[in-house]
Amino acid sequence: MPTVQGARALAKARALAPVAGGPLAYHGGPVMQRAKLYAIFWIPTALQNGGTTGMSVAYQNLQKRLLADYTANGIDNINTQYYQIVGTTTTYIQNAAGVILTNGLAGSFVDSAPYPASGCSDAATPGNCITDAQIQAEIQKVMGLNGWTSGPNKMFLLYTSRGEGSCFDAGSTVCAYAAPDPNNAYCAYHSFFGTSPPGTSPPVIYANMPFGKLSVCAAGQPSPNGDAQADAVMSIASHEISEAITDPLLTAWFDSSGNENGDLCNFDYGVNTWTSLAPNDANQMWNGNFYELQREWDNHAGGCVQLGP
């Protein structure tokens, strides 16, 4: 998910290139038929440069609540129009209605181990930066500690603490919050690692979830839970989960320019349907909990929607 500036640049590019902007097309890869979500909170006592860091329990609890509520509700319903084809069999994504024990928040873990030495250089967090390879190593470590295994319907979201940055690699050209080219900065991303030849585990599907930075990763949306940073990250998590469900190995659903369902609706919140909470209005209410989440692309509607078909 790009920053606000990056999203505006992408929107401008789409306006100049009519072939972009949907619909999503199927490219032959698998989808996540029923998502099981795992939260990893990496919260050392200090950053690499000795600076203070942290993540409140309330922030953690809101992230876990979003993962628990996501399945079987409005945004997840949008995913059910997408499918995978294996041989002659077409299988649609399913929401979690009636199968609560096999979906939603499947596990969480807090790791207080120190961050490794900075492997990159993010201008927004000088001295405190981890690469994608270091993120993958942390996820693998935590999976081992908890006995968690990878699977085609499992996604691991790694939340880092305040002040910690990240970049794709040591070259530091694509980073959290800021980058040499601001249009290459991100608020989060999803991907996978590992391979799956016969007899081995399937790839690990994951998301890197940096701590919420309102100046670049929020677009003035309300905060229905009274924690603006946590609310912004919940919207970003919804974006990444929706993309991972419909395109877990980056081979399933995206448009002619490579945009996934979340990319086409960056920072698009639609109408706040829950207005009795002013000034903390919301556009989603799931299980009695309120959220302000970006909309997602709907091929049937030909645009961004809040509720699936």
Query: Tell me: the pLDDT tens digits for 108-120?
Result: 999 999 999 999 9
CA distances from 178 to 17, 156, 170 (A): 26, 24, 15
pTM of the model: 0.93
Mean pLDDT confidence for 196-208: 80
Total structural domains within the chain: 1
Mean pLDDT confidence for 260-284: 88
Tell me which DSSP letter residue 100 carries: G
Give which of 220, 214, 213 is closest to 279, Cα–Cα. Answer: 220
Residue 13 has pLDDT above 50, yes or no: no
Q: Both tokens of residue 158?
A: 């790694």
Q: What residue has token string 């968690």?
A: 148
Residue 182 has pLDDT above 80, yes or no: no
Range of the domain at 20: 4-305
Residues 6+ apart with CB under 8 A from 190: 155, 205, 206, 207, 208, 240, 241, 243, 244, 248
pLDDT of residue 200: 63
Q: Both tokens of residue 70?
A: 């996501």
Alpha-carbon gap, residue 236 to 212, rounded angstroms: 9
pLDDT over 70 percentage in the chain: 89
